[in-house]
Amino acid sequence: MIKYEEQPSITKNKSTSEDNLIDKIILGKYKLLKKLGKGSFGNIYLCKEISSHEFFAAKLENKSSTINTLELEYQIMNTLKIDSIPLVKQYGQNDTYNILIMQLLGKSLEQIFENILNKQKMSIKCVCNLAIQMIEILEQIHDKNIIHRDIKPSNFLFGNDNSNNNKIYLIDFGLAKKFRESKEDNHYEMKRGDKLIGTARFASIYTMNGYSQSRRDDLESLGYVLIYFLKGKLPWQNILIKNKEERYKKINEIKLNIDTDILCSDCPEEFGEYITYIKNLKYEEDPNYNFIKNLFINSLNKIGSKFDYVYDWDNSKALIDINQFEEKDIKNEIVEDENVKLKLPLNKILYRKKSKKKRNKSQDKSTNDGREEREKEEEKGEESDEINNSSDQINLQNSNACCIIM
């Protein structure tokens, strides 16, 4: 069986090598710790700023690739400056990569849907809570004359601490672009003949047919995301056609011909109203964001609920665990060099003289087996602390003293 897998029609960059980047230092001050995922044109890593001990996300794009978008993504994110996209820390380059350092966020809606909910349908209350936030984010972005062009579950992430782990953020602006210069200007002229830009599963009908995108296309994609969560799948998933062009053609055919009532069957009527409203928008027409947000508020009211940032899962599970890396780094920083220069206040370190009393041979022999067992257990313990098949050992080589960390 051929499993349907979404692939944007734009040729993606060659993947950055994840095998030799972990523990590397980039831009002179960030240590790469773990690969978190992939964006449109690059890989995302968890990294730590060495001087401040703060954690960030690092997006790396191979400079040798035919398409480089990371600098443009950096410029767009700086232009937007809204609190529903990650904060940008730094942009730079080395010999191999373009590098963007930004705010570390938690898991994506796709990760939650697949790994926490095991692809089970989300509740009406949950999806409506998501919908209202997502519409607000798109409204803010569109207000800055930018369209995203790749709305999908993996591009919506939660915050990564207790103060924002119920708040949604939008990421990956590698395909984003302006749809007009300013609010006073008209949209750029609509053209036809573009290749598919975005992800086929969630792309709008106009996008599938090669038309220039506008705000309505972001919103139509969002409608498919919401139905995907509420129903568990979309009618055009798992199409068993190996050829990409033929598969896209079949997806487009289903989207064009499916009746909204069938698409939104078993959904509250407000979901069908949303899809109908968005599909009737003209290319340059201003969407009525308040109207479409109120559709989902009404849907919540009908079930006796409200917009309260409460979902179908424990939001602590949406956090990315960084504790393991904090523990590792603390161990690494205890010893600065072979002379055991400890980066701790003196009042936290006690020194005691090692006993110089010699042991007799019979005593050594009688305890040898026990010592070997302890050494084996210690080796096992060190192996269990390894992260990404690498470990940093602490060697206290001062022969006259041992230290006790209090």
The whole-angstrom separation of Cα 59 and Cα 77 is 13
**Residue 41 DSSP symbol:** S
Interatomic CA distance for residues 273 and 268, integer angstroms: 9
Paired with 92 in beta bridges are: 99
Query: Which residues, in sequence order, are CB contacts of 287 under 8 Å at separation 6+?
Result: 142, 215, 216, 219, 278, 281
HSE, side-chain direction, 13 A CA sphere, residue 329: 19
Is 218 catalytic? The answer is no
| Enclosing H/E stretch for 177 | strand 177-178
Out of 19, 23, 83, 150, the active site residue is: 150
- Is residue 251 within 8 Å of 267, Cβ to Cβ? no
What DSSP line would sit under 47-69, residue for residue? EEETTT--EEEEEEEETTSS---
Could you count the other beta carbons within 10 Å of the beta carbon of residue 280? Answer: 9
Residue spans of beta strands (DSSP E) within 139-206: 146-147, 156-158, 168-170, 177-178
Tokens 């007009």 belong to which residue? 180
The phi and psi torsions of 89 (rounded to 5 degrees) equal -95, -50
Check: CB of residue 145 under 8 Å from CB of residue 180. yes
Helix residue spans in 281-360 (DSSP H): 289-302, 323-334
**What gap in Å lies between CA 246 and CA 223, rounded to an integer?**
24
Using DSSP's 3-state secondary structure scheme, residue 23 falls into: coil
Distance CA 250, CA 208 (A): 11
User: Which of the residues are catalytic?
Assistant: 150
